[in-house]
Structure 1
């Protein structure tokens, strides 16, 4: 690298490239980021990036939450590259969780789906679906970085919430959490990665059985299936994730390589996810009005869940 120009003509000691030595730390740069529907923090001791979802409105993948997750995911490789140039190891783990008690994420924005389906708006449905797979794909390929991704599930993970958890290397779940893919109940299917992730973690037969059942699974059941890696007592999920990180810090390099190898042996390509969203959009546009009414009943159930959480939080103050 050519040293920067020095007006005094001195050449004994090259002036260091200040771009290679950022004045702020990775922790400070992450703390400087501001989002409307997620909280982010970097723990400098364990090199862990914590991302906690707090969607505005329904506890689902709202357009606002998806936009924040996209911006956050775009920032990680840039910050990592900037701070890695200074010789430090800026990040080793990424954890995604939720601020909403009892809820990880309840999945797609069903009211938005119903609106676009009634309008016959293929473009908007496709745009939403692509935003969803962008998020899970970035998780699934670990941002192309030597990090380990962890889903911290301290509440129900349904539909897209379950898909997001499955996109991570490790799933830590509390016993009280429920998991499921309810889309079949209103004549749809989960089109943002569920089949791809389940078919690789289990097999196609078991994946289809789970998707077609529409049932809720306990964390214990999914632990027995091998889908959940760490089963924690209720209220102890974060401690379990922190303990996993602490216990495996010295082996993080090998674990990252093993998960990278797993992705090479059973790769999930963006093209696969994209093509499945095309099937999802085609299927959505064929839904009948009775199907859409079932979808809206599930939306109202999500509203009741959120209202109950807010009421409980207000009473606890």
Structure 2
């Protein structure tokens, strides 16, 4: 029996684009180190997450990840857990990668056709509001803002975050796009904050981001209106950086990176200056999300029924009902 023990053969094949090592039925599967211990070129080819797809482009020093939550088109507890582990893996891999190979860009997208992300897990909200379990709801909300703050601070790394929006970005989906450095959207993408429809507000950073990118008055107007905006409308407002035709989003990201890689350092510095002038603290996000939890626990039965109808409509969009 042939025993496979050399993980460098795996590394070579992964760098060449092989999907897997062909093994005979009598061969033993390879045992390899954790992804964080592998070279950056292959670390994200080996590790798997249930709710994420990843792709590394070593030539552009760019890591792509696509959200694909399996139980709802939103920030489910499973997706949150995978995103937290993904973030931790990036930070570990980055710090042990040689300087000339370090990651420059992190791209977020979605594997769900027509949907970037529809925000908070409405089924989870309804369940824990009905059971009066405010602490579990609070833990979920704190996980959300932990990730939001990580995005808003570029994971504490000198990288640039780009959100590629190819579908609807609503509620928390819009908020996470706003937390990135650059938003590139396809023309049919829609953006909005629908929480007002069930007497709640977007508590994971919307007001903080919008009041800095626009102004407090327009931030309040967007939140209170519940309006759904097109990519072109947000581009005119300065919230979306690039709008392209449907199906051209990934090409637009690659084009943006190709045009700006040589300016990466100055773009990053200007971003850091902007953060210094309009700084966002973790404490601000946490205080707001605690207000959100308190408001959520005061929703009445009519509000909860609206949440549950909206959840059913979301589930239907991805064939879960």
Q: 1:50 maps to which residue?
A: 64
Residues 146-169 of structure 1, C-alpha deviation per residue, up to 9 Å, x if partnerless?
111000000000000000000000
Is the partner of 1:152 in helix, strand or coil? strand
Q: 1:32 maps to which residue?
A: 46
Task: Give ranges in structure 2 of 5+ residues lacking alignment.
Answer: 1-35
Mapped to 1, the partners of 2:69 and 2:172 lie a distance apart of 14
Which of 287, 310, 314 is the equivalent residue of 1:298?
A: 310
The 8 Å contact of residues 119 and 170 in structure 2, kept in 1 or not, is answered as yes
Mapped to 1, the partners of 2:243 and 2:190 lie a distance apart of 12
Mapped to 2, the partners of 1:58 and 1:35 lie a distance apart of 16
Mapped to 1, the partners of 2:299 and 2:65 lie a distance apart of 35
Mapped to 2, the partners of 1:39 and 1:198 lie a distance apart of 29
Q: CA deviation at 1:23?
A: 8.9
Q: 2:28 maps to which residue?
A: none
Q: CA deviation at 1:87?
A: 3.7
Which of 283, 289, 299 is the equivalent residue of 2:295?
A: 283
Mapped to 2, the partners of 1:296 and 1:210 lie a distance apart of 23
**How many positions carry a matched residue from both structures?**
286
Mapping 1:225-304, distance limit 5 Å: 225-304=237-316
Q: CA deviation at 1:42?
A: 1.7
Is the partner of 2:200 in helix, strand or coil? coil
1:203 aligns with 2:215: yes
Is the partner of 1:272 in helix, strand or coil? helix
Q: CA deviation at 1:264?
A: 1.2
The 8 Å contact of residues 146 and 257 in structure 1, kept in 2 or not, is answered as no
Mapped to 1, the partners of 2:88 and 2:125 lie a distance apart of 26
Mapped to 2, the partners of 1:58 and 1:239 lie a distance apart of 28
Q: 2:93 maps to which residue?
A: 79
Is the partner of 2:298 in helix, strand or coil? coil
1:154 aligns with 2:200: no
Is the partner of 2:305 in helix, strand or coil? helix
Q: 1:92 maps to which residue?
A: 104
TM-score (norm 1): 0.88
Give me the CA root mean square deviation. Answer: 1.4
Is the partner of 1:227 in helix, strand or coil? coil
Is the partner of 1:164 in helix, strand or coil? helix
1:66 aligns with 2:80: yes
Mapped to 1, the partners of 2:314 and 2:194 lie a distance apart of 12
Is the partner of 1:59 in helix, strand or coil? coil
Q: Which aligned segments of 4 or more residues in structure 1 are displaced greater than 2 angstroms?
A: 22-25, 86-89
Mapping 1:51-200, distance limit 5 Å: 51-83=65-97, 86-200=98-212
Mapped to 1, the partners of 2:125 and 2:287 lie a distance apart of 19
Q: CA deviation at 1:24?
A: 4.4
Change (3 A) 1:193 1:23: closer
Q: CA deviation at 1:104?
A: 0.1
